[in-house]
Amino acid sequence: MTKYIFVTGGVVSSLGKGITAASLGVLMKRRGYKVSIIKMDPYINVDAGAMSPFQHGEVFVTCDGAETDLDLGHYERFIDEAIKGENSCTSGKVYSAVIQRERAGGYNGSTVQVIPHITNEIQDRIERVGKGKDIVIAEIGGTVGDIEGLPYLEAIRQFVSRVGRENILYCHVTLIPYIAASGELKTKPTQHSVNELRRIGIQPDIIVCRSQYPVGEDLREKIGLFCSVAPDAVFEATDADTIYRIPVVLHTQGFDKAVLKKLQLSSDGEPDMCDWNDFLHKYDTIKGQITVALVGKYTEIKDAYLSVNEALFHAGIANGVKVKVFPVEAEDLENGDVCEILKCADAILVPGGFGQRGVEGKIKAAKYAREKKIPYFGICLGMQVAVIEFARSVLGIKDATSVEMDEKTADPVIYLMEEQKNITDIGGTSRLGAYPCKIKEGSKAADIYGKPEIEERHRHRFEFNNKYVKEFENAGMRVAGVCPTGGQVEIMENTKHPWMIGVQFHPEFLSRPVKPHPLFKDFVAAALKIKNKYEER
């Protein structure tokens, strides 16, 4: 029988429910259980694909092409498993499915209501994720008390009648604020939050207390007493120097054992965390630092490039160096002094993005990296701007993109994909998901990956025009990877540069703390090598 763990949040949002769920996931998996995680977001958007990075952070793309919340990225990085679109449940998806079924006569003329139809749809989606799994961890987005989250809370309350209370655990993540004036941690917000849950009909089994300071035994006993939770089921998750320490912190307190005991599962032995602990040891003993300029369009929002930042972090640990990410707003490079702005960078990374804003600034960053021989990593749009810069500066092609010229009378170097030209719906219409890439023998990419064919995830509408392959290669920009099914150019390398690689896909989505992505790992290694040579002079 599949066991279900529901993670809710109280007091404020952005408490770390996703990290708590992911941490529990890795501990359960390392104990040998088959684990899956689902994120349930109350927003009406069907998915995160058309949501602004300024409001929502990055869009994480799954292997089957779903555009999801960034928490799914945490799930994948922690449990090291590819999850799918079904692991993301939004109100938009739920209501769309119910309305479509109603239009097709699926309810036999019944009045369609939130209860039971919406709540049943939510429960059905949870059960589908649980097929073939020992444990399903379901995170409910938002905060207890939000009106849009009520159907989800009602659904997980009703779920008891489907699977039995013995197969369900409710975990509530809550804030314990510190009041500086009195020098005290306060439990009252947690009491109110749990009371709201109990009013709905949900009694938490475990409470995880988020705080800036340690939550002492006396406070945990108080929380347990007022919230009807055993004191040994109240855990603390204080602010940590890295999110990857949280699983170890929770395990040390017996968090995973408490969960297994409640679910009547074996808790014998310990989770195999050897490689995880080795990663943390490397982090704790790290020496040296390199600076990577991240030239983007949404740099004022940290979460907009979350997976890229994490992949750089993983690669840095693998190379025994701290990677300091220096965010550079692309628009600042358009009219600013590029050399002055980028002078501190040991390497430059240009990530993906949509729209024309800031593109010229990114092109200038690519030009600076090419001319100064600084390691350059272009991802999606980052590859395209490197190609545009090369076309302009080296090949003398003035107008290199379909935005700059009439597509009916000319062949731009970077152009809108054929299947994208008649699309007006911006939601979920890009080339999305995992596609294969055949790597050219003898290329730098072949050395980095160590295998002839790979599979990476995509999210783009523009691509390189294959008519220019020979012209580019003759000038020193080699095509190092091509999609074998469609012929699209996937990887390009500047053969006259120490390390200048552009990829049409998003490798950051496949990086893991204990398995850094090979491209990021080699990129950081190249930057470190050049920096060390410079310092030896």
Which residues are marked as active site? 380, 506, 508
Question: What single letter denotes the amino acid at residue 467?
Answer: K
Rounded to an integer, what distance in angstroms lies between the CA atom of residue 200 and that of residue 194?
Answer: 10
Q: Token digits for 76?
A: 């994948």
Closest residue by Cα to residue 189 from 7, 9, 11, 8: 11
Strands 35-41 and 88-90: parallel
Q: What 3-state class would DSSP assign to 218?
A: helix
Rounded CA separation 504/380 (Å): 4
Rounded CA-CA distance 491/473 in Å is 13
Backbone torsions φ then ψ of 131, nearest 5 degrees: -65, 125
| Calpha distance 248→284 (Å, rounded) | 14
Structure tokens at 507: 């490798």
User: Are 30 and 22 within 8 A, CB to CB?
Assistant: no
Amino acid at 386: A
DSSP string, 142-183: S-TT-GGGHHHHHHHHHHHHHH-GGGEEEEEEEE--EETTTT
Bridge partners (DSSP) listed for residue 194: none
